[in-house]
Every structure is written in structure tokens, then in C-alpha cells.
Amino acid sequence: MSNIPGIVLNEDDSHYFSTRAGQILDKEKVASFVDQYADTQVDRLVFNPNCMRTSYGSQVWDPIWLNYDPDGPDNQSFFDGSPVTAEWARKWVHTAWKLDHDSIDPYAVWIDRAREHGISPWISMRMNDVHCVDDEKSFIHSEFWRNNPQFRRVTYDFMEWTDKAFDYGHQEVREYHLALVREYAQKWDMDGLELDWMRFGFHFKPGHEQNGCELLTEFTRTVRSILNEAEKRVGHSIKLSARVPSRPQTAIGLGMDAIRWAKEGLIDSLVITPFWATAETDMPIELWKMLLGGTGVELAAGFEILLRPYPAYSVNHSNSLETARGMAASFIGRGCDKIYLFNYMDSETTLDAPEFYKALLKEIGSQETIENKPRRHVITYSDTWAVGQPRAYALPIQVPTGARQAFRIHIGPKPNNMGVEIVIGLLEGSDDLEVRCNGELCQALGETQLPMPAPDCTTYVYVAKKCSVNNGYNAIEVQTKNDISIVWVEIRIKQE
């Protein structure tokens, strides 16, 4: 199994500190955090030290504890206006402060321990994090952001968080972020740096994204040159990666010309991903591979933790082991080079059934370890679009009496010795349906109750003939004898 794609796992800037609060943290205790990823398919750990502030004692950006009184009460003014609970916030801030106070650099410690386990250690930089900007008093915001509202994307209105993101059209903004890149390159002996452009994905004033492509390409050239200098110090190559939207036209439309970065030799790896609202089960892997052809750039398929069928869906489902297997089987089958996990940490932000976390890390990085295990392939949607770009969603959809509605679902390799079911979720209407898989009529079994993630609607199951199931895409057709509203569609592969 030496040629398996493997798993890249992103550890965010707050999770460790908030979940280890109150523990006695010496260097060995901090290092032991990495041990859980030994003997799994995780071969790259990507540690994220920043949002608007840093979770270490930065000399160029505000550390998360700036203006915090470690001896003060929980209701100190530092936490005024915080849209998150002061208890959680203090756990993060105090733990990070205490490690710095004790001269423990967790990122340096994790880098060393990762290498001991044969895991490649990377650092990830969030390029435009705007958590909680609806409250400008929140402790999470930098003084540079607070004091320079003229550098924001939208200065004339506020409708959503990304309106208050930095506008990289300003040289001051680019230089401010390059300062942190330089500090990262000087501070840590990392195998690679990831520029996370998907936190939060919008980096230019609306209508200025075309010129933004030039600016971000030049920015990436500068980062590459910074890493080239750092290589002389550490004595080995330092790779560069970028996290961008799932579809090339959206990436370009938001100023991220990732294919150009690849063709210029600026990046070594590219992560395509949704933003947050849902895992995207039908990302165009083949198109990206074609566009990257000849560059040698690795393509990683990004998983988000949530799973929703459409934007207005009200339930925050998390992926299960079975839905994660489904995505991995599809993406590996389509040619991705890595599976990339974002918001799949060891607690809090993880699977709803955390007892399956270890199995997730041991299975989804290889087609061999997914094969002959139950998996689910659920229709979701793209949650990131360029400004003004028309948005397309398969669900929900109203199907009138007598009409036929088609869906397509990619499943990766056709399963062997497994049953295949089609699940249709209806918000309105009955199960008086004919369901076909690639033109072949399926057997109706009636109403069913799915395991989590379970849609908040009535679901019906139909058995597909094995001979009708394809490798890759499968066309699911639903014909109705009465008006129906379809809100959930999946192919479920299970033990017979």
C-alpha cells in the first residue's frame, strides 16, 4: 500500500488550546498530541497558527492574548462583545498564553514529533480569516484590522462576514500578510507552507478580481522567493501549497489563478475544496487534473465536516464514516493525489460519532481500505461562487405529476459483492415513484430510516440491479405519479 494517496489533516489555530485547557502541558505532553496520527494513513499534518491573530508569540502580528489579563476575571473587558462564549475563548487564549509564558512553542514541538513518526509537518496560513466580524469588539480581531476599515473589501455596506475581509488590492494589506509569511519561514523548520485562500475566500473589492489575479500571482511569487531563502537555512526544500475553491472558474473569478501558479512552478500542491457549509461530493477532479497536466503539481481533494444537500437545508449534519468513505472512493477513483481533511480534528469539530475517528484515518486514504465496506454517496452542492456567478443546485426540486427528474452521482469504482440502493427523500408527496439506475428499473422496498446523517424528511429505498451500476457516474431517474418535492438523493452501498 505504499502508493496510496494518503491523508492530509489540518489542525486549526484554536482547537488544541481550547480542548487541552487546564492540563499540565510540558513539551512531552504537547508533543504526544501528534502520536494519535502515527500508524494511520495521515502522512501530512498541516498546523495552522493564525486567524486574524496568532496562537503563538508573534513579533509581527498580534498574538491571541494581546491585552488579556491572565490573572483577571472571566468577565474582564478583553472578552467584551465576544460572540463566542467567554469560557471557550478563555480556554484558548489562556492555554496559548501559558505555553508561550513557559517558553514552549507547540508548533516547533509538533513539527519534530511528526517527523519522528514519518509524517510530513507543514504550516498553514489563513490568508483572510474573518470569524466574528459582525462584532468588532471581539477579542479575535487584530488591531490592524480594527484600525484600518478603509482596507476592507466592502466599505459601503455590511451583509455578510466576507464584506469585512481585507482587500488585497491594497499594497499595505499584501505587505502585512507577507510579514507573517516571512516570520513563519524564519521561525519553523517546516516541510511546506500552505496559503489557505479559502479562509474566507473573498479577497478583492467586487469587480476587481480580474486585476486581483495578477496581484495574487505576484504575491505567490514573493512567497516562493521567501521559501527559497529559507531553504538555505534549513538545508532542504520547502514546498508551497494553496487551498482554493472547488471549480476552476470560481477560483479565477475570485482572483486565484491556481493553474498559472502551477505552470509557473510556484506551487507544488493544490487543494480544491468547498468553504464550510457542506462537503462537496462532486468536485471536478478530472478537469483540474487536465489543467494541471505536465506541471507535476499534486491535487488534493478537500473534505469539509458538514454534509448538506442544499443551501437552505436547516440541519447541520456532519459526515459519518460511511459518507466520508463515499467521497474518498469517488475522489480517488477520479484521480486525486491526496485526501485533505479540514475540520476533522480529534474532538469538538469532528465526526458526530467520534468513536469512528481512528477508523476514518486508517481507511479513507486508500481505495484498498475502502473496498467492500459500506459507503454512501449523497448529492450536495457547491457552497462558494464568485461575485455575480450564477449558482446551480440539484436540490430541492419540485417534480410535477407524470414528470421524470434525473440526477447523477459519482461513486468511484463499481462495488463488488455489495448491495446498491437508491434513497430518495421527499418533503412532500408519496412514494408512488418509479426509480431507475442507468435506465434499469429499481425494486421499491418502501420507507426507510437512514443512519446519521439522516435527512429531516421521509425517505424511501429502491434496490438497483447490480448489472445496471456503473463505475463513476450513475444516472438516477425518478418518475412520479403525483406532485412531489425531492430534498435528498443518495446511492447507498451496503453489505447484502
CA angle 19, 119, 361 (to 5 degrees): 60
pLDDT digits (tens, 9 = 90+) for 380-405: 999 999 999 999 999 999 999 999 99
Q: Domain 7-373 belongs to what architecture?
A: Alpha-Beta Barrel (3.20)
List, in sequence order, the alpha helices (H) in 335-434.
357-363, 367-370
pLDDT of residue 84: 56
List, in sequence order, the alpha helices (H) in 272-346.
285-292, 321-334
Residue of higher predicted confidence among 162 and 2: 162
Phi then psi for 10, rounded to 5 degrees? Answer: -100, 120
- The percent of residues above 70 in pLDDT, for the chain, comes to 98
Domains of the chain by residue range: 7-373, 397-494
Its pTM stands at 0.97
Task: State the pLDDT confidence band at 1, using cuts at 50, 70 and 90.
Answer: very low
Number of CB atoms found within 10 A of residue 206's CB = 12
pLDDT of residue 82: 57
- The percent of residues above 90 in pLDDT, for the chain, comes to 92
Which residue reads 486581483 in cell numbers? 212
For the segment 218-241, the average pLDDT, to the nearest whole number, is 98
pLDDT digits (tens, 9 = 90+) for 280-290: 999 999 999 99
Cα–Cα dist 420/189, whole Å: 48
Residue 92, CB-side half-sphere exposure with 13 Å CA sphere? 23
pLDDT of residue 11: 98
pLDDT of residue 2: 43
Per the prediction, the chain carries an average pLDDT of: 96
Residue of higher predicted confidence among 474 and 428: 474
Whether 174 and 211 have beta carbons less than 8 Å apart is answered as no
The answer on pLDDT for 420 being more than 90 is yes
Cα–Cα dist 46/4, whole Å: 19
Provide CATH code, domain 397-494: 2.60.120.1200
pLDDT digits (tens, 9 = 90+) for 62-75: 999 999 999 999 88
Strand partners, 173: none
Sequential DSSP letters for 144-169: HHHH-GGGBS-SS--SSGGGGSB-TT
